[in-house]
């Protein structure tokens, strides 16, 4: 069995940051493995550890910088990685989910996985759409926001729980091959061991261009026109001063509200 | 092709509130395009739903009687068949867990651009939308290229539509291909209830990822004790199993409306805010002045929680 995990590197803004044109100034960004993908990797690695002969391959759209993040996945137990990139992609301000889905589906066509796991969303753009769009592109079945996954390979189905709003879960049987978008909390992502980190350095990480994958890079249908810090709608009162002073001011407010009385 | 199709949502026998929000958003788009607003209601007691959805601004309600509950293979087929028939310029869906289970597939099949989790739009000349980027820290203006598009809207951003309508209600035969229905919903499960009901609490001390480690929760419980308050949490705390699921506030947890909500080391992600924005007074303790929690907080202390929380506890001892 082969499992493909889509892994994205996300950009997180520092507490204080500056916007430069249509993006946050790179000096204020930290790049990291997307939290949801961390759970997707763990889920795939757990399946591979429980079965015989399960290969876990990760697929990432990203520049060379992303290789550090990709190696995190390899250190946690993925067997190999594919990175898709084309320098022209660096000029795109906002990649739409259809473009991402097309590029990742091209990797899937090469790899022919039985199962594809992606994160529910990326923490930065949060379109929450790539996984399902990729399933549609591939003609795979799918389920979004999965927080429990039980494979029944003999029956060719996966029994999943989809986490709905308000503490309700939907129980669904999904025919394989399928794409699942994985929700946080489905498992406990491991920390990479030192041995894992060492091994990751020698695991294969192939770089492919859209051309080599035989797909059109395509145009993003979304054009970024502005980026700004939202104007605060509330007029929050900030308590200022030393720690003790602010604590005293807040305590006074809470007393007024009858808290702790 | 100036019409707008908005997809409604129901679960376990009830229309969800967001159905009336997509109606408002759809009307806004239709006003801009000069077209009609059609609603789609798929599955369940569609006639009863159609009656409830006949509110001001709706021109037509199309009912697709197929199955009881949401099934994405039915939804995608039904919406695509409706889109073939109606040729809408825009399709609007809610950015809910089910919305994101069909919208990307529908957009892909219809070959139209998709933009999700939109908080504002302007369709007076092409479609321009506003949505957040970088985890809610920035707002982006985005032009959607092409004549048509599919949009999912963030729940709670549009007023629910109301009033009396005079919509045509039409049963639509979507000619669902059963062979293409490759997933089966077998039921629902409610997350187990514990000994504490955070939705009943008058004062909540709510803790987020900023607490860093399970052992550090001690200072949170000490504060809650001093304030005679109940402890709740954001999702990562529950994902880590540091607190049980019934303590989670937010979209997939509980909705709370206490007199006082003290958010400690919580950034204020939209899914968290969805569960606590109705609180009477919101206090945030977070060392990041750009954290979105401050957009809805009434009071704030921008400082290290490990200093502030023990100092606050001391004030009550
Ligand atoms: C479908 C779906 C459903 C979801 N449902 C929910 C839900 O029901 N509830 C929910 O909460 N989330 C939910 N989420 C997750 C949500 O998107 C966020 O990931 C989550 O709310 C973040 O939790 P947090 O604020 O505790 O963590 P973070 O976003 O990591 O924020 C931690 C905050 O702590 C602050 N901090 C760090 N250290 C300190 C310190 N020493 N002193 C003071 N402040 C500090 C930081 O500045 C930061 O703002 C859902 C997501 C999805 C996709």
Do B54 and B151 share a domain, yes or no? Answer: yes
- Is B114 in contact with A96 (CB distance < 8 Å)? yes
For residue B50, is it within any domain? yes
One domain for residues B48 and B164: yes
B139 in contact with A, Cβ within 8 Å: yes
Domain boundary among B151, B180, B209: B180
Averaged confidence pLDDT in chain A: 96
B38 and B146 both lie in a single domain: yes
| pLDDT at B194 (0 to 100) | 74
- Do B235 and B263 sit in the same domain of this protein? yes
Interface contact A219, partner B, CB < 8 A: yes
Same domain, B233 and B96: no
Residues linked to residue B151 through DSSP beta bridges, in sequence order: B92, B115
Considering CB atoms only, which of B139, B146, B203 is closest to A230? B139
B105 and chain A in contact, CB less than 8 A: yes
Q: Do B111 and B238 share a domain, yes or no?
A: no
Tokens 């606050």, residue? B312
Classified as helix, coil or strand, B188 is strand
- Asked if the structure places residue B74 within a domain, the reply is yes
- Expressed in angstroms, the distance from the first to the final Cα of chain A is 62
* Of B153, B180, B207, the domain-final residue: B180
Domain boundary among B180, B209, B228: B180
Co-location of B175 and B202 in the same domain: no
Distances (CA, A) of A155 to B13, B107, B177, B279: 31, 30, 22, 48
CB B2 within 8 A of CB B34: yes
pLDDT tens digits, residue range B9-66?
Answer: 999 999 999 999 999 999 999 999 999 999 999 999 999 999 999 999 999 999 999 9
Beta bridge partners, A59, equal A6, A82
3-state SS class at A195: helix
Is it true that the peptide bond before B305 is cis, omega within 30 degrees of 0? no
Name the residue range of residue B282's domain.
Answer: 198-316
The strand ranges marked E within chain B are 4-7, 10-11, 14-15, 37-42, 60-64, 90-94, 114-118, 120-122, 127-133, 138-144, 149-153, 168-171, 183-190, 203-207, 230-233, 260-264, 281-285, 299-301
Could you tell me if B19 and B121 lie in one domain?
Answer: yes
DSSP letters, B244-276, are: -GGGBBSTTSB----SEEEEES----HHHHTTT
- Listed by number, the residues of chain B in 54-93 with a beta carbon closer than 8 Å to a beta carbon of chain A are 69-70, 72-73, 76
Q: Which of A119-123, A135-139, B290-294 has the lowest mean pLDDT?
A: B290-294
Helix A130-138 × helix A97-111 angle, to 10°: 50
How many whole angstroms from its chain centre is CA B303? 30
**Confidence at B224, pLDDT banded by 50, 70, 90:** very high
What is the pLDDT, as a whole number, of residue A230?
A: 83
Report the pLDDT value the prediction gives residue A53, as an integer from 0 to 100.
95
Report CA torsion sign: B263, A181, B72, B80.
positive
User: For residue B129, what are its two tokens?
Assistant: 């939308």
* Residue B192 belongs to some domain of the structure: no
DSSP B216: G
When pLDDT is cut at 50, 70 and 90, the band that residue B173 belongs to is very high
Q: CB-based contacts of B234: which residues, under 8 Å, 6+ apart?
A: B206, B207, B208, B209, B248, B249, B250, B266, B269, B272
pLDDT at position A216: 85
Residue B132 pLDDT exceeds 70: yes
Q: What's the CATH number where B235 sits?
A: 3.40.50.1220
Q: Calculate how close chain A gets to B61, using CA atoms only, in Å.
A: 25
Residue A218 banded pLDDT, cuts 50, 70, 90: confident
Query: Cβ(B258)–Cβ(B201) under 8 Å?
Result: yes
pLDDT-above-70 percentage for chain A: 98
- B114 is a domain residue: yes
Does B88 reside within a domain?
yes
Instruction: Please tell me if residue A101 touches chain B, with a CB cutoff of 8 Å.
Output: yes
In a domain, B111, yes or no: yes
Q: Choose among B82, B85, B91, B79: nearest CA to B26.
A: B91
* Domain shared by B16 and B109, yes or no: yes
Nearest to B212 by CA among B248, B134, B263, B266: B266
Tokens of B300: 């704030």
Residues 6+ apart with CB under 8 A from A139: none
- The residue ranges of every structural domain in chain A are 2-213
Residue B123 Cα to ligand 1 midpoint, Å, equals 33
B10 & B140 share domain? yes
Kindly list the protein residues whose Cβ atom lies closer than 6 A to any atom of ligand 1: A 120-121, 145; B 97, 208-210, 234-236, 248-253, 265-267, 269, 271-272, 275, 286-288, 291, 304-306
DSSP state of B200: G
pLDDT digits (tens, 9 = 90+) for A18-64: 999 999 999 999 999 999 999 999 999 999 999 999 999 999 999 99
Q: Is residue B66 within 8 Å of residue B33, measured between CB atoms?
A: no
Among residues A24, A88, A27, the alpha carbon closest in space to that of A61 is found at A88
How far is Cα A136 from Cα B150, in angstroms, rounded to an integer?
15
CATH of A2-213, one of 2.60.40.10, 3.40.50.620, 3.30.470.10, 3.40.718.10: 3.40.50.620
d(CA B130, ligand 1 centre) in Å: 22
Tell me how close the Cα of A148 comes to any Cα of chain B, in angstroms.
12
In chain B, what is the greatest distance between 2 CA atoms, to the nearest angstrom? 69
Distance CA A250, CA B140 (A): 34
Report d(CA A213, CA B179) in Å as an integer: 31
DSSP state of A86: -
A136 touches B: beta carbon within 8 Å: yes
| Contact: B311, A243; criterion CB under 8 Å | yes
Do residues B258 and B281 make contact, with C-beta atoms less than 8 angstroms apart? no
pLDDT per position as a tens digit, B68-115: 999 999 999 999 999 999 999 999 999 999 999 999 999 999 999 999
Q: Are B309 and B220 in contact (CB under 8 A)?
A: yes
- Reference B271, options B307, B303, B229, B239; nearest CA is B239
Q: Is A155 on the interface with B (CB under 8 A)?
A: no
Cβ atoms B229, B205 nearer than 8 A? yes
Considering the domain architecture, whether residues B41 and B83 belong to the same structural domain is answered as yes
pLDDT mean over B269-273: 96
Number of folded domains in chain B?
A: 2
pLDDT of residue B215: 98
Q: What CATH number has the domain bearing residue B172?
A: 3.40.50.620
What confidence category does residue B252 fall into, taking pLDDT thresholds of 50, 70 and 90?
very high
Rg (CA), chain A: 21
pLDDT at A232: 67
Pocket test for ligand 1, best of B205, B239, B266, B269 (most atoms within 8 A of CB): B269
| Inside any domain, residue B185 | no
Tens-place pLDDT, residues A174-186: 999 999 999 999 9
Q: Are residues B282 and B138 located together in one domain of the fold?
A: no
Decide if B187 is inside a domain.
Answer: no
Taking CA atoms, B169 is separated from B7, B40, B47, B49, B62, in Å, by 14, 10, 9, 11, 6
């Amino acid at each position: 069995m082969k499992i493909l995990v889509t892994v994205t590197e996300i950009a997180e803004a520092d507490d204080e940051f500056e916007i430069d044109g249509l993006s946050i100034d790179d000096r204020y960004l930290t790049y990291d493995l997307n939290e949801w993908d961390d759970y997707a990797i763990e889920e795939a690695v757990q399946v591979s550890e429980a079965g015989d002969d399960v290969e876990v391959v990760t697929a990432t759209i990203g520049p060379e910088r992303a290789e550090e993040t990709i190696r995190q996945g390899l250190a946690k137990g993925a067997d190999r990685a594919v990175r898709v990139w084309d320098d022209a992609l660096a000029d795109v301000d906002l990649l739409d989910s259809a473009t991402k889905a097309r590029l990742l589906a091209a990797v899937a066509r090469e790899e022919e996985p039985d199962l594809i796991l992606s994160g529910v969303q990326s923490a930065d753009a949060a379109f929450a759409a790539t996984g399902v769009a990729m399933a549609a592109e591939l003609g795979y079945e799918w389920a979004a926001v999965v927080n429990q996954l039980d494979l029944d390979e003999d029956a060719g189905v996966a029994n999943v729980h989809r986490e709905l709003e308000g503490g309700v879960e939907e129980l669904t049987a999904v025919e394989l091959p399928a794409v699942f978008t994985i929700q946080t909390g489905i498992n406990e992502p491991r920390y990479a061991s030192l041995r894992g980190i060492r091994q990751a350095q020698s695991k294969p990480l192939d770089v492919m261009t859209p051309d080599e994958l035989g797909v059109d890079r395509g145009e993003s249908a979304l054009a970024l026109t502005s980026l700004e810090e939202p104007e605060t709608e509330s007029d929050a009162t900030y308590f200022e001063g030393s720690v003790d002073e602010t604590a005293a001011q807040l305590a006074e407010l809470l007393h007024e509200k009858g808290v702790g009385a | 092709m100036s019409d707008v199709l908005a997809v409604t949502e129901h679960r376990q026998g009830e229309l969800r509130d967001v159905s009336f929000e997509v109606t408002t958003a759809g009307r806004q788009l239709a006003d801009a395009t000069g077209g009609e607003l059609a609603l789609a209601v798929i599955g369940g007691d569609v006639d009863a739903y159609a009656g409830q959805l006949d509110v001001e601004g709706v021109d037509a309600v199309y009912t697709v009687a197929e199955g009881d509950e949401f099934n994405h293979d039915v939804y995608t087929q039904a919406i695509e068949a409706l889109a073939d028939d109606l040729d809408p310029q825009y399709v609007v869906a809610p950015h809910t867990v089910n919305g994101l289970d069909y919208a990307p597939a529908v957009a892909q099949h219809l070959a139209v651009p998709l933009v999700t989790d939109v908080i504002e739009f302007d369709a007076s000349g092409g479609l321009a939308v506003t949505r957040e980027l970088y985890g809610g820290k920035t707002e982006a203006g985005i032009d959607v290229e092409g004549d048509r598009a599919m949009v999912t809207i963030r729940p709670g951003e549009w007023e629910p539509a109301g009033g009396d309508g005079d919509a045509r209600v039409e049963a639509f035969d979507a000619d669902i291909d059963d062979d293409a229905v490759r997933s089966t919903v077998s039921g629902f499960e409610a997350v187990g209830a514990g000994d504490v009901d955070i939705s009943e609490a008058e004062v909540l001390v709510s803790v987020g990822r900023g607490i860093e480690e399970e052992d550090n929760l001690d200072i949170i419980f000490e504060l809650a004790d001093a304030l005679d308050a109940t402890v709740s949490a954001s999702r990562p705390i529950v994902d880590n199993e540091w607190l049980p699921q019934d303590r989670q506030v937010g979209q997939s947890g509980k909705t709370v409306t206490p007199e006082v909500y003290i958010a400690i080391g919580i950034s204020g992600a939209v899914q968290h805010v969805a569960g606590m924005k109705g609180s009477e007074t919101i206090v945030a303790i977070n060392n990041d002045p750009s954290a979105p929690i401050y957009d809805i907080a009434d009071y704030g202390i921008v400082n290290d929680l490990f200093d502030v929380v023990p100092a606050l506890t001391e004030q009550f001892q």
